[in-house]
Amino acid sequence: MSRLRLAPVVSLVAVAGLAALALHAETAAPDPDAASTVPASQAQIDLSFAPVVHSAAPAVVNIYATRVVDQKASPFAGDPLFERLFGDLAPTTPRVQNSLGSGVIVGSDGIVVTNFHVVGSATEIRVVLNDRREYAATVMLGDEDSDLAILKLDGASDLPSLAFTDSDAIEVGDLVLAIGNPFGVGQTVSSGIVSGLARSSTAVGDGLGAFIQTDAAINPGNSGGALVDMQGRLVGINTAILSRTGGSLGIGFAIPANLVAQVVTQAQAGSDRFTKPWAGLTGQAVDAATAEAMGLPRPDGVVLSSVHPESPFAAAGLKAGDVITEVDGLPVNSPQEIVLRIATRGVGAKVDVSWLRDGEAQGATVLLIAAPDSPAREARTISGDTPLDGLSVARINPAVLEELDLPPKADGIVVTQAGRTSAAAGFRAGDLILAINGAEVGSTADVETLALSGDRRWRIDLVRQGKPVRLQFRY
């Protein structure tokens, strides 16, 4: 089936190449420097991608990361019953794990962008340039949510770098090149087009969402590499593929350049973590059924189901039931797009928001803020001879909501981290603790008091992902 599909495409490319060659011969004399310059005409682009590659490839690097992980050597490995019962008792041995990825130099002083999953928890990072120079690197900023990491090459200066393009101006059908080091075979270039925009994290995996989709071949090892336009500017950072085999099937995703630029800016300002503006909203895309029920002319925008009282959008006048249609003049059709639009602007910026209320168009300017860390979270960690040993809890405030990705209506005491003992008892980060052994929990101090006063039988009432959960066990 693939042969039948590919044959016409190859023929069309051959015809296009011959036409471009004829056009070039008629309209321009041969340019001896064409191989080392950015294309100056559409005919040059159609004829060859080499000028773009010569311009962009030197700024794309290979990244070798080393990390030490604890590996359990269990005699019960593979047995579904005994591994579950005794797996935690197996001894652990340290093992060195290597990972391979790509990166992009965005600052001539040695600032490199890559994926967090390439260098996360790495104990040693080595970066190899296209001209075979090698540098040790340290992580300036790592953000797992956006899957971005900013590296600084030790002792580097006057390096080739890529400029950012405005990823909001990218359109489906634009030509792009993916440059990276797939499978460790060496730097490789693949061509394609932008095949989709604003692909959400529900389709791709974790991340801020609203990825750029491309059919340029992306394979393992391409992660962190460059997606560039026909001017050799950075469109995005390649980060993921959809595949049943682990190889490219023509559906790859890149983190938009505007978001990458914001993360780089914060790293250069000295921040070691990425702070994005807080929306304080929950909502869903307007589909055909929702549009009909709300009397909307077409299924566009995001209908809000809740708005936190301290949200900057609430301060601008928005409330549950409103349909946000645009942020800064750009259409939004998923909650992830709203998050991306404000994340690329940064804390302290202002954005113009358009929305519909009862079918009437409205608009306002929203001042973007970081999630307030108030009232005080009263964080504490339980310790002692209790099944809650190692349990970290906090009072919910907007900052905690943002960190744990909780809905705006969440309130009370939440688990921020579960230690080994408390995790074995069934606790998970994000659990809201309602009661312990029948006694209601109203503060983190209540959790500590009740944790140290329990008997052998325990009953914990929780809310987990919006559903009631009861933990019952003997200790």
* pLDDT single digits (tens) 191-227: 889 987 877 644 444 446 678 999 888 887 788 899 9
Tokens 């113009």: give the residue.
352
Q: Is 306 annotated as a binding residue?
A: no
More confident residue, 246 or 213: 213
Measuring CA to CA, which residue among 349, 355, 291 is closest to residue 326?
Answer: 355
Q: Is 221 annotated as a binding residue?
A: yes
**Catalytic choice (24, 55, 99, 117):** 117
Domain with CATH 2.30.42.10 in the chain: 281-367, 380-474
Q: Is 407 helix (H, G, I), strand (E, B) or coil?
A: coil
pLDDT for res 206 = 42
Q: Is 270 annotated as a binding residue?
A: no
pLDDT for res 10 = 33
pLDDT for res 36 = 59
Minimum mean pLDDT range among 74-88, 134-148, 357-371, 436-450: 74-88
In DSSP terms, which residues pair with 354 in a beta bridge? 326, 363
pLDDT for res 243 = 61
pLDDT for res 245 = 61
- Residue 232 per-residue DSSP state: S
* pLDDT single digits (tens) 264-320: 999 999 998 899 899 999 899 999 999 998 888 889 999 999 999 999 999 999 999
Give the percent of the chain with pLDDT over 90. 51
- Res 84 pLDDT > 60: no
376, two tokens = 């005080």
Q: Is 317 annotated as a binding residue?
A: no
* CA–CA distance, 458 with 474 (Å, rounded to integer): 6
Beta strand 457-464 with 467-474 is antiparallel
Q: How long a stretch of residues is the chain? A: 475
Tokens 């909780």: give the residue.
406
pLDDT for res 47 = 73
Domain with CATH 2.40.10.120 in the chain: 51-274
More confident residue, 241 or 348: 348
Q: pLDDT confidence of 231, banded at 50, 70, 90? A: very high
- Res 23 pLDDT > 70: no
Q: Which fold has domain 51-274?
A: Thrombin, subunit H (2.40.10)
Does the active-site annotation cover 158? no
In DSSP terms, which residues pair with 125 in a beta bridge? 65
Q: Exposed e or buried b for every residue in 44-62, given b needs 16+ CB within 10 A?
A: bbbbbbebbbebbbbbbbb
Does the active-site annotation cover 223? yes
* CA–CA distance, 44 with 46 (Å, rounded to integer): 5
pLDDT for res 370 = 93
Measuring CA to CA, which residue among 224, 235, 229 is closest to residue 176?
Answer: 229
pLDDT for res 22 = 39
Question: Strand locations in 347-417, DSSP E?
Answer: 350-357, 360-367, 380-381, 392-395, 413-417
Measuring CA to CA, which residue among 196, 175, 250 is closest to residue 219?
Answer: 250
**Catalytic choice (143, 147, 215, 229):** 147
More confident residue, 386 or 246: 386
pLDDT for res 320 = 92
Mean pLDDT of the chain: 83
* pLDDT single digits (tens) 105-164: 999 999 999 999 888 888 899 999 988 899 999 999 999 888 899 999 999 889 999 999
Q: Is 440 helix (H, G, I), strand (E, B) or coil?
A: strand
- Res 19 pLDDT > 90: no
- Residue 371 per-residue DSSP state: P
Q: Which residue pairs, CB below 8 angstroms and at least 24 apart, start in 370-375?
A: 370/275, 370/277, 370/278, 370/399, 371/278, 371/280, 371/398, 371/399, 371/401, 371/402, 372/278, 372/310, 372/397, 372/398, 372/399, 373/397, 373/398, 373/399, 374/398
pLDDT for res 464 = 93
Q: Is 394 helix (H, G, I), strand (E, B) or coil?
A: strand
Q: Pick one of 2.30.42.10, 2.60.120.10, 2.40.420.20, 2.40.128.110 as the CATH number of 380-474.
A: 2.30.42.10
Beta strand 60-72 with 188-199 is unpaired
pLDDT for res 166 = 92
Does the active-site annotation cover 147? yes
Q: Which CATH class is domain 281-367?
A: mainly beta
Does the pTM surpass 0.75? The reply is yes
- Res 345 pLDDT > 80: yes
pLDDT mean over 231-238: 93
pLDDT for res 382 = 93
- Res 86 pLDDT > 60: no
Q: Are 475 and 454 a contacting pair, CB within 8 Å?
A: yes
From its phi and psi, is residue 78 left (phi > 0), alpha (psi between -120 and 50) or beta? left
pLDDT for res 392 = 95
Q: pLDDT confidence of 4, banded at 50, 70, 90? A: very low
- Res 396 pLDDT > 70: yes
**Catalytic choice (55, 167, 200, 223):** 223
Q: Is 110 annotated as a binding residue?
A: no
